[in-house]
């Protein structure tokens, strides 16, 4: 008997259904992971890399007023001069999100408020190539990016598993049977991480968060990582036991013979836990 299950989809209908399910799995995690997690990280890294040679000049804080559904609000821009020309910028940081309520942007915005109240100038970082492009902070907010990078990396792994399932559903690779065997674990891990990682990003986005809720959410995220690791191990064949191949039946009397042999072996040899009854020879050993 082989320890690697064959492709379980023997009909074209089942292959098509499996292809669609794996495609949905890959699309959900691939698109969400890119647009909400990895794209903001790569954009911030790209902006930070470009801003490393920006020149520092002083600028004056200029109050602006705007109006939205909540009424009138005040925001600030900074007026600076380069080469005898005057420019204005309101770009707070290298982040893709330019909203004022973003925690790192809010820190820079508060600095503008304090400078305006004290009548002081602020530092502006200006591009040496395009003087109308400037930032009020060129620092890389690592604390804002690492949760998104971690969540994005996990979502990329789920998307990769879905893409592998799409290929295996029709190409019938040898490893596809193990991927199907691990499908319930992948599904549970995907549901768990798909919920807890966005929650982790929201919780850690609050700079004033206390360590207790952060630790609590971190433990749930760790559980998701461990379940995902278990799915990876099953797919790679590191945690599989002996699996009965689809369509293969035991011969008549084989169960009784196996029972008799096992009973005799149990009397004459030490008990070995695991094997066929579990997930390998190390099953449930502490």
pLDDT in tens, 148-167: 999 999 999 999 999 999 99
Torsion of CA 97, 98, 101, 102, to 10 degrees: 40
Which of 70-74, 113-117, 128-132, 244-248 comes out lowest in average pLDDT? 244-248
Whole-prediction pTM? 0.75
Mean pLDDT, the chain, integer: 83
CA atoms within 13 A of residue 48's CA, in its CB half-sphere: 13
Element (H, E) at 20: helix 12-33
Which of 39-43, 110-114, 204-208, 230-234 comes out lowest in average pLDDT? 204-208
Q: Is 107 exposed, middle or buried (0-12, 13-18, 19+ CB in 10 A)?
A: middle
Give CA–CA dist 37/97, Å, rounded: 12
Alpha-helix residue ranges (DSSP H) falling in 123-253: 142-171, 176-181, 183-204, 211-235
Does residue 229 contact residue 219 with C-beta atoms inside 8 Å? no
Give CA–CA dist 158/81, Å, rounded: 49
Residue 183 predicted with pLDDT over 80: yes
Q: 101 falls in which pLDDT band (50, 70, 90)?
A: confident
Q: 112 falls in which pLDDT band (50, 70, 90)?
A: very high
For residue 7, what pLDDT is reported? 60
Q: For residues 250 and 87, which has the higher predicted lDDT (pLDDT)? A: 87
Give CA–CA dist 258/277, Å, rounded: 13
For residue 6, what pLDDT is reported? 55
Give CA–CA dist 264/261, Å, rounded: 5
For residue 251, what pLDDT is reported? 45
Give CA–CA dist 65/72, Å, rounded: 7
For residue 51, what pLDDT is reported? 95
Residue 25 predicted with pLDDT over 90: yes
Quick one: average pLDDT of 202-224? 86
Residue 259 predicted with pLDDT over 60: no
Q: For residues 121 and 237, which has the higher predicted lDDT (pLDDT)? A: 121
């Amino acid at each position: 008997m082989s320890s690697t299950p064959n492709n379980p989809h023997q009909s074209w209908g089942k292959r098509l259904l499996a292809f669609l399910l794996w495609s949905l799995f890959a699309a959900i995690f691939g698109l969400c992971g890119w647009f909400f997690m990895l794209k903001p990280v790569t954009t911030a890294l790209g902006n930070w890399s470009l801003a490393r040679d920006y020149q520092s000049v002083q600028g004056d804080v200029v109050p602006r007023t705007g109006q939205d559904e909540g009424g009138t609000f005040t925001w600030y821009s900074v007026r600076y001069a380069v080469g005898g020309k005057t420019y204005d910028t309101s770009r707070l940081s290298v982040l893709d999100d330019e909203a004022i309520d973003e925690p790192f942007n809010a820190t820079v915005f508060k600095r503008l408020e304090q400078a305006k109240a004290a009548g002081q100038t602020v530092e502006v970082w200006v591009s040496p190539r395009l003087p109308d492009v400037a930032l009020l902070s060129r620092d890389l907010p690592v604390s804002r990016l690492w949760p998104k990078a971690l969540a994005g990396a996990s979502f990329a792994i789920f998307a990769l598993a879905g893409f592998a399932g799409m290929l295996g559903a029709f190409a019938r690779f040898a490893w596809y049977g193990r991927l199907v065997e691990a499908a319930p674990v992948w599904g549970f891990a995907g549901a768990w991480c798909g919920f807890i990682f966005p929650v982790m990003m929201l919780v850690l986005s609050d700079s004033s968060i206390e360590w207790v809720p952060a630790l609590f959410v971190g433990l749930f995220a760790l559980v998701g990582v461990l379940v995902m690791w278990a799915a990876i191990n099953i797919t790679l064949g590191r945690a599989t036991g002996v699996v009965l191949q689809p369509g293969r039946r035991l011969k008549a009397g084989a169960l009784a013979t196996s029972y008799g042999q096992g009973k005799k072996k149990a009397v004459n040899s030490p008990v070995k836990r695991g094997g066929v009854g579990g997930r390998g020879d190390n099953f449930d050993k502490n």
